[in-house]
Structure 1
Amino acid sequence: MKATLNPRSLRETGTTPDYRFSLANERTFLAWLRTALALIGGGIAVAQFLDIGARKAIAVVLLVLGAVCALRAVAHWAACERAMRRKQDLPASRFPAVLVLLVTLGALGLILAVLTGRFAP
């Protein structure tokens, strides 16, 4: 499988799918990109405004997760586009479940910090 993200290279693969499927794939990509931007924005907000000792660690985790989400989004978009052009099943991905798990664990950790008073100004 080619690991290229070049649109011209993707167009040379297989046959052109129904444009509705390509547009749906693009909308999914954009949704993942919005998620990545939200994580990055959250990381910046934590770095600037949170007043706790773990501020930098939380900010770095959010920023890294945002970057990984953006990279995964474009890789999944290309893999789906390639599969559609080859008339193959769309690739399965564990990334959504992993992201949900990480965000949930992070939220639970922050809830615990709020309840124990670790967010005291």
Structure 2
Amino acid sequence: MREPQWRRSGTTPDYRFSLANERTFLAWLRTSLALLAGAVALDQLTPNIAPTLVRGVLAVALAGVGATLAVLAYRRWAHAEQAMRHGRELPFSRVMLGMTVVVFLAALVFAVLVVVRP
């Protein structure tokens, strides 16, 4: 894979900031993997928690959010790196609010499923 053009522009930031940005990227990837693992676990390990269709929809939704988060993690890392290279303010992201809402809704649905489980 070729190095992106933007990596050749601006000034190289302090390596500590680049490494911190990379650690944040990896934390977002861990969250993405946890959502994917939750989707697989929901589908494969809890056959009696909900009807097959409900389980399938929840698993696909969690997997989709996990996959989307992985892509957004890379974009966020790249935008932060570009901002540091050009001495600009770090970009704002609504992804954290979105993830909070998704996790809240998933927890709410799972709680309801556990309480009303057949």
Establish whether TM, by shorter chain, passes 0.5.
yes
- The 5-angstrom pairing of residues 26-37 of structure 1 reads 26-37=22-33
Residue 10 (structure 1) shift: 2.9
5+ residue gaps in structure 1?
A: none
TM-score, normalising length: structure 2:
0.91
**Residue aligning to 1:7:** 3
Which structure 1 residue ranges, 4+ long, deviate > 3 Å from structure 2? 5-8
**Residue aligning to 1:17:** 13
TM-score, normalising length: structure 1:
0.88
Identical columns (%): 46
**Residue aligning to 1:107:** 107
5+ residue gaps in structure 2?
A: none
CA deviation map 1:7-66 (0-9, x unaligned): 342321210010000000000000000000000011111111222211111110110010
Equivalenced residues, count: 114
Q: Distance in 2 between matches of 1:8 and 1:114?
A: 47
RMSD (Å), alpha carbons: 1.5
- The 5-angstrom pairing of residues 37-52 of structure 1 reads 37-51=33-47, 52=50
Q: Distance in 2 between matches of 1:83 and 1:6?
A: 20
64-73 or 45-54: bigger deviation: 45-54
